[in-house]
Amino acid sequence: MSLKEVYITRTSSFFPNNPVSNEEMEEYLGYINNKPSKSRRIVLRNNGITNRYYALEKGGKVTHTNAQLTANAIKELFKNDPEGIKKINVLACGTSSPDQMMPSHGCMVHGWLPDLGSIEVVSPSGVCCAGMHALKYAYMAVRIGDAQNAIATGSERLSASLVANQFEDEVHKLIALEENPYISFDKEFLRWMLSDGASAFLLSDKKNEEGISLKIEWLEGISYADHMETCMYMGAEKQQDGTLKSFLEFEPHEMNEKSVLSIKQDVKLLSENIVPYGGKMLKRLFETKNITPDDITYYMPHMSSSFFKDKIYQEHVKNGIEIPYEKWFVNLTTKGNVGAASVYIMVDELFNSGKLKKGDKILLLVPESSRFSYMYGLLTAC
């Protein structure tokens, strides 16, 4: 079987509402225990984010579902080609924040896009790597000839889980126990890190006749869950031995008291491992793919916080693959951490910037702290 070359021929992004500044955040998310957060300024100073997007109005009213955000990003792909959406063979949608457990996120997105017709739909789950898993599925479908074209998406709508009323029951419990009336750092700091949005790629076995396309050279992934315990989780509670207790095993009143449906993170586990583990596979890829830092024109590492930027750079130096900062292309400060969509959003911004020249190579790195998984990719402008 001969394998086909696969190209990203269009990219798009969709953000809900207007950008939200640091000072406005609690007007959208609300105040826990009716008091401004003590951790907000500290976390924001470290993460470097100045704007993000919420699918909320001030006061917390929801404006978009995740599926709607994703469908809108896909519509943007075809704004100049309305009939093109009817020719798609595969839809792959990755997210860590589906609107419901069932049906799948991809099927809900499909439901907002009747012009797609009846096609194959897949929904990779997970956290930040879910968007890259969707991209790899779409890539493989075109690569082996099962599809002539495909859409891959990454999206998040996490704001609904960050609003104050998701924290109130736990706060009241803490007050009753005469403890600090603020959620522990492993939970609350995520309120100041996350953003909503969606982005989409159109993949084809033919490159654009005019303008730039991005040839997908390779996409590789690895999980270290064989020996690493859970770091980020939702819908479960971490036990003393590192295992997770599922939300299905809690009494209804415990669900609220323990905020089982809130996102939580073991910050110590994160800080000690997320960067070193990401560097291990990257070093191996540089060796096995026979590439050097000189080959890379743009480097796009997905970062949850600017706090990690220098740590990532120093880890690369230690591994003998120094990539100078002038090659880094990131937009965390203006778009926020959009999880599974972040790498798509970076590619989209560069793709539509007019900066790309034929032959430019883009290196992608997406870490996922949930149980330490990573995805990598190399694209060539052509």
7-211 and 216-224+267-381 agree in CATH topology: yes
- Give how far Cα 248 sits from Cα of 237, 245, 260, 372, Å: 11, 8, 10, 24
pLDDT at 184 over 80: no
What does R_g of the chain's alpha carbons equal in angstroms?
A: 21
Q: Which of 162, 97, 150 is nearest to 125 (CA)?
A: 97
- Across the range 299-308, mean pLDDT stands at 93
Bridge partners, 48 (sequence order): none
Tell me the pLDDT of the chain averaged across its residues. Answer: 92
* Alpha-carbon gap, residue 93 to 124, rounded angstroms: 7
Look at the domain 216-224+267-381 and name its fold: Peroxisomal Thiolase; Chain A, domain 1 (3.40.47)
Tell me the H-state helices in the chain: 25-29, 40-47, 66-77, 105-111, 130-143, 168-176, 185-188, 252-257, 267-288, 309-318, 332-335, 342-351
Instruction: State the pLDDT confidence band at 188, using cuts at 50, 70 and 90.
Output: low
Helix axes 309-318, 267-288, angle to 10 degrees: 40
Amino acid letter, residue 92 = A
**Separation of alpha carbons 238 and 246, rounded Å:** 9
Q: Is the pLDDT of residue 175 over 50?
A: no
What percentage of residues in the chain have a pLDDT greater than 70? 94
- For residue 342, the tally of other CB atoms under 10 A from its CB is 28
- Tell me which DSSP letter residue 101 carries: S
How far is 232 from 319, CA to CA, in rounded Å? 26
Question: What's the pLDDT tens digit per position in 53-111?
Answer: 999 999 999 999 999 999 999 999 999 999 999 999 999 999 999 999 999 999 999 99
Going by C-alpha positions, the residue among 194, 178, 200, 219 that lies closest to residue 79 is 200
Residue type, 238: K
Residue 179 scores a pLDDT above 50? no
Classify domain 7-211 at the CATH topology level.
Peroxisomal Thiolase; Chain A, domain 1 (3.40.47)
Strands (E), 114-242: 120-122, 149-156, 197-204, 214-223, 232-233, 236-238
The domains of the chain are located at 7-211, 216-224+267-381
